[in-house]
Structure 1
Amino acid sequence: MKEFLIDGIKKLNLEYTDEKIEDLMIYLKMLVEYNSHTNLTAIRDEEGIIEKHFLDSLLLQQFIKKDMKSAIDIGTGAGFPGMVLAIYNRDINFTLMDSVGKKTKFLEMVKEELNLTNVEVMTSRAEEFATNKTKESYDLGLCRGVSKLSTILEYIIPFLKVGGVFLSQKMEGTGEEIEAQNALEILGAEIVENYNFELPFCHDPRVVLEIKKVRKTDKKYPRRTGIPLKRPL
């Protein structure tokens, strides 16, 4: 499996170190073991996890800039993309958030095993985590979500500094950018670019939206728990 991982990383034209590969392999082993009794991901074979979780997460590595010091991954699940990117970027502080305790318990185990001092794990919803202290405080926002873009924007954009970037991952193009224009305007963000990729082995399509925060977000966002999902902007 190590050779498969390295080959995939090479196909993404990314650099790697032995330490990063070893950490990802430990993460893989822990995920497979934990997933055998507690459902974290429907993908259970190691090659599938490497390609559709690890390499999928690493599609974002090329967008990470040297001046980025903090990142938040909302709805991180078993750690995608946030945990993979935290392993790859130990100089960036990552907040990995999920509302499901069994998932954050697993992430705490990975953090401890790999001594990831740059990782903070939070069991919370975005609406509840949004305070005066956390809003407008992150350089990078992450969410590999299935919710509509307009909903995801309300979860992420309030946490970003002006000039911060949100990298939104979708499995394929959905055209949601058009209906999300109202949310972008209200929250103070704009789409910079829409990138199309393929996973290196199975060639499944992936879309990454690069979204930049251009002005401060009104303090009333995100709205209270459940509202962004029920009534998207």
Structure 2
Amino acid sequence: MPLTLQIFRSPVILWWCLSVCIIFSTCSVDAFQVTRDQNRTPWFFVYRSNSKRIRLSNRKTDSLMLTTLQLSVDDTSSSISIPFSMDPTSDAACHNLRDTLQLSSEQHQQLAKLAVLVNAWNADINLISRKNCSRDVVFGRHILPSLAPLSIFSESKELQLLPGQSVCDVGTGGGFPGLPMAIARPDLDFLLVDSVGKKIRAVQDMADQLGLKNVHTFHGRAESLPSSRKFDWVMGRSVAAIPTYALWVYHLLKKKSDDEKCGHLVYLIGGDIDDSILDLAVHDEDISELLKHPFVSDKRVLVFPQPAVHELALASGEKLQVHRGGSQERRPGGKNKKLGSGSKARGQWQRRGITTPKSRGYEGFRRYDSLDKK
């Protein structure tokens, strides 16, 4: 009798083989699933775990014959949709930028790159909220709403951005709305202002990487800007309450004259606004209506002429504290401030020369132990 038959005649071996087969078949039913794919692969095995599916298929390629391992993640948990996020490469983004705002493909690429740069900088510096921050959130929640005023300028005859005009973004933070507007309008001159130095350095770096020659930055408060510097437009996005913000920027807007029109404040803000403030605005429209997209933003765009901004500043009840000379203009070591005729400032230490002996105030001092005991 052959050796194989003799082995399988043993009851112990037969019981062991039967047990192995039963265990293997039970595990294979739970862990493996045989499926047929009529289009691509004749047969493949799908291994299911809690969150991953690994597809093993035998597929011939042009250059190699190999076993292809395809990984696809099956998220069984309910996905959390982030409000107002948008993929910059999606059809919706292309429709908003190309069709609604009439931007070019190069500008679209720059805006998509800006979303990547802001997301990268935000990991180190808190430019925007870090909660659920991603490229899509930066683009949908920050970049796209910053471009909404373009629709106002293109439709209104009285409110138009003319080539060569100056724009000041006060409280730019992570570069909004200044950087997206500078990409959309390279024919305008932009000054981005913020009192936080690390944010301004990040904004300037992003502007350099994007090749924006029309962007300048200023580290300091708006009150620190020279009073002779006037702008055609001042922009801001949810920096402060409208009367307070008007107090900070009203002196930066051009006044109406025979040669030119007055400057305007363009402010992006959400929430409820008092009717007395809305009555002073020459334009008030939701961002979702301007971009013709219902799920873009919950904020609105308000436009105020210079006289209305001045009136809002007076209504704030606050007093403007002017800080002349921004911190950007300071030189290292404080050399920008000179002392007159070698005089020493009050409380300043006088530098001692090498030959000058140290003066510790010990003259005539004797220890207690050296005193004559009486």
| Short-chain TM bin | 0.7 to 0.9
2:120 paired with 1:33: yes
1:195 matches 2:285: yes
Q: Comparing both chains, which one has the higher relative contact order based on Cα–Cα distances under 8 Å and sequence gaps of 6 or more?
A: 1
2:169/2:236 contact within 8 Å kept: yes
Contact 1:28 1:46 in 2 (8 A): yes
SS at match of 1:191: coil
Q: 1:203 to 1:89 in 2, by over 3 A?
A: closer
Alignment deviations for residues 140-175 of structure 1 (CA, whole Å, 9 cap, x no partner): 110112411110111222111121111111123322
Number of aligned residue pairs: give it.
212
Contact 1:170 1:206 in 2 (8 A): yes
Are the aligned partners of 1:141 and 1:167 in contact in 2 as well (CA < 8 Å)? yes
1:108 aligns with 2:204: yes
Q: Please, what TM-score do these two structures have when normalized by structure 1?
A: 0.80
Aligned match of 1:125: 221
Residue 354 (structure 2) aligns with? none
1:58 to 147, 153, 159: 147
Contact kept, 8 Å, 2:145 with 2:297, in 1: the verdict is no
Match of 2:253 among 137, 144, 160: 160
8 Å CA contact retained: 2:111, 2:180? yes
1:7 to 95, 103, 111: 95
For 1:52 and 1:215, the matched residues in 2 are separated by 29
In structure 2, the residue corresponding to 1:3 is in which secondary structure?
A: coil
Paired residue secondary structure (2:285): strand
Which structure has greater strand proportion? 1
Residues 1:85 and 2:172 are matched in the alignment: no
Q: Which moved more, 1:15-24 or 1:166-175?
A: 166-175
TM superposition score normalised by structure 2: 0.52
Unpaired runs of at least 5, structure 1: 182-189, 227-233
Post-superposition CA distance 1:24-72 (Å, at most 9, x none): 1221111111111221111512221111101110111123324261000
Q: Residue 133 and residue 225 in structure 1: after superposition, are their counterparts in 2 closer, same or farther (change >3 A)?
A: closer
Change (3 A) 1:222 1:18: farther
Q: Distance in 2 between matches of 1:79 and 1:222?
A: 27
- The answer for the alignment partner of 2:71 in structure 1 is none
Q: Structure 1 pair 120/214, CA: closer, same or farther in 2 (3 Å)?
A: same
2:138 corresponds in structure 1 to 49
> More helix by proportion, 1 or 2?
1
Q: Give 3-state SS (helix, strand or coil) of 2:272's partner.
A: coil
Aligned to 2:269: 170
Contact 2:170 2:235 in 1 (8 A): yes
Tell me the C-alpha RMSD between the 2 structures: 2.8
Partner of 2:103: 16
Does the C-alpha gap of structure 1 residues 45 and 214 become closer, same or farther in structure 2, counting only changes over 3 Å? same
CA contact (8 A) 2:97 2:108 kept: no
What pairs up with 1:131-146 in 2 under 5 angstroms? 131-134=226-229, 137-146=230-239
